[in-house]
Structure 1
Amino acid sequence: MKVRALLRLTVLGLAVLVSGTGPAYADLNINGSGASFPYQTYSLWFMLFNRDHKGVNVDYVAKGSGNGIKDFLAHKVDFAASDAAMKDKEIAQIKEGVQLLPMTAGQVVVVYNIPGVKQLKLSREVYSKIFLGEITNWNDPLIAAANPGLELPDLEVTAITRADSSGTTFVFTNHLCAISPAFAANVGSGKRVQWPEDLNMKKSPINAGVGATLNRTPGSIGYLDYGFAKIANLDMAILENRAGKYVMPSLASGQAALANVELPENMIAWLPDPEGDTSYPITTYTWMMFYKKYDDPAKAEVLRKMIEFGINEGQKIAPKVGYIPLPEKVVERARAVIANIE
């Protein structure tokens, strides 16, 4: 309830960013589902979009990227969202065709609950070994080495992972595979993975579940999106990046990570371990998926307007809730293919 209340206050505070009213529609319902990673910004977009388009109700259920893709494949929704973009074999199953668009970008943060400990630095070696179950106590010498002067407790490490099929898990494990050959060999990447048997672990669904479990579990560590962690006021670790620098998640460190990434024709690009002294190491685009053909022309029209809102006004809103605006060249690419949805 705390996060929902803060989100509603944020909506009221940001409403002035969007003005004017759109055309009226006759009770048009648009349903979407999928990633919980971008939920904070998507929920704001849709509340404001509904406000300015009378008769339209865009409803989005954050149930995890994997479940969103399942709903989309089964034609249970009008659009879906995922941090792990659809695979070619999944796209091939949609006879109407698929238009996939990056809509925002964000950072996966490592959050922790260690009583009395703030400003915790975690090296690449440390956080990969924690999720391999090889570092099991917070007073481990490898953790202490990066945190001189910090009093670390004799407290068991408990990893909080996602219980559902999750794009956040995909992004996090994709990064761990990039920085740790042992993680790549023994766990691998995916929306669901088989975590090591030695890992002391609790599982929770969606980002909100991870945050709630973390809050009630002293000694815990987990991963979720920066936007949620920021609103929920969770402690976030300072992570070592590819250049050997310790970096906090922020708008600037996320933009630095995205700066040199070129999107290919299919508009899918991964950043498993971005270069740059100031780049945050776990940064990602997140996508929406639309059918290219809809039976209802009014629904297709509203979806095009919804995308236009997201890539224009929505980019102004995103940083306010912890997300990274799309680079202008990505916005231009997205704008050019909106007409494919009809």
Structure 2
Amino acid sequence: MRHTNFARVAAFAVCAAAASYAYGASISGAGATFPYPIYAKWAQMYNKETGFQLNYQSIGSGGGIQQIKNKTVTFGASDMPLEPKQLTAAGLVQFPTVVGGDVPVVNLDGIGAGDLTLDGPTLADIFLGKITKWDDPAIKKLNPNAKLPSSAIVVVHRSDGSGTTFIFTNYLSKESPQWQSDVGASTSVEWPTGIGAKGNEGVSNNVTQAKGSIGYVEYAYALENKMASVKMINKDGKAVAPNSAAFQAAAANADWAHSDQYYVILTDQPGAETWPIAGATFILMYKQPVDPAASAEALKFFDWAYKNGAKAAESLDYVPLPASVIAQIEKTWATEIKGPDGKPVYAN
């Protein structure tokens, strides 16, 4: 059962930290909960193959950005890419690892995964607090055959700084002028309504426990907790279910080769099969790291993950990066992340 597997990986990550510190290593990362399932899985696989231990703290993208800026971790992780000017000002490099999807999830009697369909404007109005009942005409119009209760909608959102929130609110900003003007897109926003919960884990738990609720989580968490995910009407007007093929369709439009420092946002992409709330997740590291040896070990881990972790990523419904993008990232490592001698800290 997936829940048991995730729990075992989480326990591994904690033990790995203790073991690393015991031997004097200082390899650590912190940030996004969106990619935590695959980072933890990769860490488990890497440990089995190499004996190396890696500690990753799933604290949210906002925390990951802050910790790397504070130089308390070897790498930070964020689902919100930093703008090139922000990276330059902080002396950071960013690179993507995998692509995944945010999915709205609901807890309604008689409604399973894929039984409910929403579009962007309706989803925005729910999170704006304008639509407050499940049998609202806007929801009924999209779901004429669904048995929708007249009960109140319980909105659940993230309370911490979150890249998952950035992806979700970026999408809502593209779909709703009112959302864009009143709330906007960021890792943390002033929510018009709802209950806050920490991490994808917290939102999953709250929606699972509260009847009549709706929230948003990374897809692996929806699968993990057997949650009722919602179909979305995409930019081409098609109702699509969240899955790796739909995330891949969104990723197909990513122009990494011409992006400035990998600043790519994948929400609301065209294509009949495209999931509209997709996004990449990113690693943040210093161009001139405080501990070059630790940075080299971190890059060695990600190099291994790119080469050996694709099947594990796919098993959790993440989309691995194309070989051409990985080659581009490896060039970035060689030209951007250097030790005090001016040489790359890692040469693969």
Q: If the length of structure 1 is used for normalisation, what is the TM-score?
A: 0.89
The aligned counterpart of 1:21 is none
**Contact persistence 1:38–1:286 (CA under 8 A):** yes
Q: Where do 1:141-180 residues align within 5 Å?
A: 141-180=137-176
Q: Partners of 1:297 and 1:184 in 2: how far apart?
A: 41
Shift of 1:295: 4.7
Match of 1:28 in 2: 25
| C-alpha distance in structure 2 between counterparts of 1:64 and 1:163, whole Å | 10
Q: Indicate if the aligned counterparts of 2:29 and 2:56 stay in contact, CA closer than 8 A.
A: yes
* C-alpha separation in 2, matches of 1:210 and 1:320: 22
Deviation digits for residues 216-253 of structure 1 (CA, Å, limit 9, x no counterpart): 11000001100111111111000110111000111111
Aligned equivalent of 1:276: 271
Q: Where does residue 308 of structure 1 map in the other structure?
A: 303
1:43 is the counterpart of 2:40: yes
Q: Is the 8 A contact 1:107 1:284 kept in 2?
A: yes
Rounded to whole Å, the distance in 1 between the matches of 2:319 and 2:270 is: 17
Give the whole-Å Cα distance in 2 for the aligned partners of 1:112 and 1:172.
Answer: 15
Q: CA offsets, 1:295-339, max 9 Å, x none?
A: 545323312211211222122211101211113332221122232
CA distance in 2, matches of 1:88, 1:338: 16
- 1:38: Cα distance to partner? 0.6
The one-letter code matched in structure 2 to 1:5 is T
Q: Which residue of 2 aligns with 1:73?
A: 69
The runs of 4+ residues in structure 1 deviating greater than 3 Å are: 8-11, 87-90, 294-298
Q: Distance in 2 between matches of 1:69 and 1:38?
A: 15
Aligned match of 1:109 in 91, 97, 103?
A: 103
Q: Deviations over 1:265-322 (max 9, x none)?
A: 3111012310011100011111001123335453233122112112221222111012
> Shift of residue 3 of structure 1?
5.9
Answer whether contact 2:64 2:76 (CA < 8 A) is retained.
yes
Aligned mate of 1:98, from 92, 100, 109: 92
RMSD: 2.0
- Alignment partner, residue 340 of structure 2: none
Is contact 1:157–1:220 with CA below 8 Å preserved after alignment? yes
Amino acid in the other structure paired with 1:188? G
| Residues 27 and 50 of structure 1: CA distance in aligned 2, closer, same or farther (over 3 Å) | farther
1:329 to 321, 324, 329: 324
User: For residues 111-138 of structure 1, what are the alpha-carbon distances to aligned partners after superposition, in whole Å with 9 as ceiling and x for unaligned?
Assistant: 0101112311112221111111111000
Rounded to whole Å, the distance in 2 between the matches of 1:296 and 1:171 is: 32
Gaps of 5+ in 1: 12-25
> Could you tell me how far 1:9 is from its partner in structure 2?
7.1
Instruction: Give unpaired runs (5+ residues) of structure 2.
Output: 11-22, 338-344
CA distance in 2, matches of 1:250, 1:296: 39
CA distance in 1, matches of 2:299, 2:284: 12
Contact preservation (8 Å) 1:29, 1:59: no
Distance 2:26 2:53 in 1: 5
Q: Choose from 192, 214, 217 the match for 2:207.
A: 214
Q: Which residue in 1 is equivalent to 2:54?
A: 58
Contact 2:93 2:285 (8 Å CA) reproduced:
yes
1:84 & 1:289 partners in 2: Cα distance? 11
- Deviation, structure 1 residue 52: 2.3
Partner residue in 1 for 2:341: none
Q: How many residues get paired?
A: 322
Per-residue CA deviation, residues 42-100 of structure 1 (Å, 9 max, x unaligned), is: 1101121122223x321000000001110000001010100012344543454xx3221
Please give the alpha-carbon distance, in whole angstroms, between the structure 2 residues aligned to 1:10 and 1:41: 10
Q: Secondary structure at the match of 2:26?
A: strand
Contact 1:101 1:287 in 2 (8 A): yes
Residues 69 and 86 of structure 1 are in contact (CA less than 8 Å); yes or no, is this contact kept in structure 2? no
How far apart are 1:105 and its partner, in Å?
0.8
Which one-letter code corresponds to 2:39 in the other structure? Y
Q: Distance in 1 between matches of 2:281 and 2:212?
A: 30
In 2: Cα distance, 1:10 partner to 1:186 partner: 40
Instruction: State the alpha-carbon separation in 2 of the partners of residues 124 and 8 from structure 1.
Output: 33
CA distance in 1, matches of 2:332, 2:85: 21
**Whole-angstrom CA distance in 1 between matches of 2:249 and 2:3:** 30
